[in-house]
Structure 1
Amino acid sequence: MKLSLRKSAIAVIAAGLSSTIMPAEQVSAVEFARKNLVVPDGPRAGELWDDSLTPYIAEPLMLSMTESGINEIAVRKSAQTGFTTLLLASVSHFIAIDPCRMMIVQPTTGALAEFNREKLSVAIQQSPTLKRLVKDQTSRSGEGSTAQAKRFPGGSLKLAIANSAADLRSSTIRKAFLDEVDEYPDDLDGQGDPIGMVEARQESFLMSGEWLRMYISTPTVKGSSKIESYFEGGDQRYWKMPCPGCGEPFKFVFDRKYFKFADEFPHDPYYATPCCGTVILPHEKIGLMKKGQWVPEASRPGAYPSYHFDALTSPFVPWEKIASRFAECNGDPLKLKVFYNLTLGMAFDMKGDAPDHVRLMERREPDLKRGHIPAHGLVFVGTADVQMNGIWYLFKAFSPDRQSWRVDAGYIEGATDDPHAGAFLKLEELRTKQWPDAFGQRRTVDAFGIDSGYRSHVVYTWCRGKAGVFALDGLDGWSRPPIGQPKPVDINYNGQRIRNGVMLWGVGTWSLKGAFYSNLRKEGRAAGQDTDPPGYCHFGGWMDEVYFRQITSEYLGTEKFKGRSRQKWIPRVGYENHLLDCEVYGDALGEYLGISRMTPQEWSQLASIRGVPADAIDADLFAPAPIIATHQVRAAAPSTEAAEVPATAEPQDAGRDEGWYSTDNSFWDR
Structure 2
Amino acid sequence: MPKWAEHYRKLKNPKGGYSGPWRHDIAPHLIEPMNALSDPSVSLVGLQGPAQSGKSDIGLNWWAATIHQQPTDFMICQPDKAMMQDFVVRRLEPLIDQHRVLKEKMLPGGSSDNIFLKRFKGMLSTHIWPVGAQFRARPVPWGWLDDYDDFPEDIDGQGSALSLLEGRQTTFEGAEKTYVSSSPARDGGGGIEAICEAGSNERFHWRCLIAANIFRPSSISSSSLIAKAAWMMLNARRIWSVRIMAASSIRHTKDRCFCRRWLYPIMVGCSLIKNLATTAR
- TM-score using structure 2 length: 0.77
Which SS does the other structure have where 1:57 is aligned? helix
- Describe the shift of the 1:224–1:299 C-alpha distance in structure 2 as closer, same or farther (beyond 3 A): closer
Q: Which amino acid aligns with 2:23?
A: D
CA distance in 1, matches of 2:79, 2:158: 17
Question: In the alignment, is the contact (CA less than 8 A) between 1:237 and 1:306 conserved in 2?
Answer: no
CA distance in 2, matches of 1:199, 1:87: 18
Instruction: Determine what percentage of the aligned residue pairs are the same residue.
Output: 22
Per the alignment, residue 276 of structure 2 pairs with none
CA distance in 1, matches of 2:21, 2:165: 32
1:108 Cα shift?
0.9
CA displacement, residues 313-372 of structure 1 (integer Å, 9 cap, x when unaligned):
xxxxxx4xx6xxxxxxxxxxxxxxxxxxxxx9xxxxxxxxxxxxxxxxxxxxxxxxxxxx
Per the alignment, residue 624 of structure 1 pairs with none
1:46 Cα shift?
4.8
Question: Which of the residues 2, 7, 29 maps onto 1:56?
Answer: 29
CA displacement, residues 366-399 of structure 1 (integer Å, 9 cap, x when unaligned):
xxxxxxxxxxxxxxxxxxxxxxxxxxxxxxxxxx
CA distance in 2, matches of 1:64, 1:299: 13
Question: In the alignment, is the contact (CA less than 8 A) between 1:106 and 1:178 conserved in 2?
Answer: yes
1:40 Cα shift?
5.0
Is 1:192 equivalent to 2:165 in the alignment?
A: no
- Which structure: greater helix fraction? 2
Per the alignment, residue 204 of structure 1 pairs with 171
CA displacement, residues 17-48 of structure 1 (integer Å, 9 cap, x when unaligned):
xxxxxxxxxxxx11211222222547446522
Per the alignment, residue 93 of structure 2 pairs with 121
CA distance in 1, matches of 2:61, 2:212: 36
Question: In the alignment, is the contact (CA less than 8 A) between 2:149 and 2:183 conserved in 1?
Answer: yes
1:221 Cα shift?
3.4
1:193 Cα shift?
2.3
CA distance in 1, matches of 2:72, 2:121: 9
CA distance in 2, matches of 1:156, 1:103: 8
Question: In the alignment, is the contact (CA less than 8 A) between 1:100 and 1:154 conserved in 2?
Answer: yes
CA distance in 2, matches of 1:246, 1:54: 17
Question: Which of the residues 88, 94, 116 maps onto 2:66?
Answer: 94
- Describe the shift of the 1:188–1:112 C-alpha distance in structure 2 as closer, same or farther (beyond 3 A): same
1:383-532 → structure 2 map (5 Å cutoff): none
CA distance in 1, matches of 2:103, 2:218: 41
CA distance in 2, matches of 1:242, 1:98: 35
Which SS does the other structure have where 1:50 is aligned? coil
Question: In the alignment, is the contact (CA less than 8 A) between 1:95 and 1:130 conserved in 2?
Answer: yes
Larger radius of gyration: 1
Q: Which amino acid aligns with 2:101?
A: T
- Describe the shift of the 1:231–1:119 C-alpha distance in structure 2 as closer, same or farther (beyond 3 A): same
CA distance in 1, matches of 2:19, 2:107: 21
CA distance in 2, matches of 1:46, 1:133: 24
Question: In the alignment, is the contact (CA less than 8 A) between 1:235 and 1:304 conserved in 2?
Answer: no
Which SS does the other structure have where 1:198 is aligned? helix
- Describe the shift of the 1:129–1:75 C-alpha distance in structure 2 as closer, same or farther (beyond 3 A): same
C-alpha RMSD over aligned residues:
2.9
Per the alignment, residue 309 of structure 1 pairs with 244
CA displacement, residues 577-606 of structure 1 (integer Å, 9 cap, x when unaligned):
xxxxxxxxxxxxxxxxxxxxxxxxxxxxxx
Question: In the alignment, is the contact (CA less than 8 A) between 1:40 and 1:119 conserved in 2?
Answer: no
Question: In the alignment, is the contact (CA less than 8 A) between 2:67 and 2:120 conserved in 1?
Answer: yes
Question: In the alignment, is the contact (CA less than 8 A) between 2:55 and 2:182 conserved in 1?
Answer: no
Listed as ranges, the gaps of 5+ residues in structure 1 are: 1-28, 260-288, 313-318, 323-343, 345-634, 639-670
Question: Which of the residues 117, 127, 134 maps onto 1:159?
Answer: 127
- Describe the shift of the 1:133–1:189 C-alpha distance in structure 2 as closer, same or farther (beyond 3 A): same
- Describe the shift of the 1:224–1:44 C-alpha distance in structure 2 as closer, same or farther (beyond 3 A): same
CA distance in 1, matches of 2:73, 2:21: 26
CA distance in 2, matches of 1:242, 1:45: 23
Is 1:219 equivalent to 2:157 in the alignment?
A: no
Is 1:68 equivalent to 2:33 in the alignment?
A: no
CA distance in 1, matches of 2:228, 2:182: 20
Q: Which amino acid aligns with 1:55?
A: P
- Describe the shift of the 1:301–1:213 C-alpha distance in structure 2 as closer, same or farther (beyond 3 A): closer
Q: Which amino acid aligns with 2:137?
A: S
CA distance in 2, matches of 1:219, 1:230: 11
Is 1:36 equivalent to 2:8 in the alignment?
A: yes
Which SS does the other structure have where 2:205 is aligned? strand
CA distance in 2, matches of 1:300, 1:124: 35
1:239 Cα shift?
3.3
- Between the two proteins, the alignment pairs up a number of residues equal to 245
Question: In the alignment, is the contact (CA less than 8 A) between 1:38 and 1:45 conserved in 2?
Answer: no
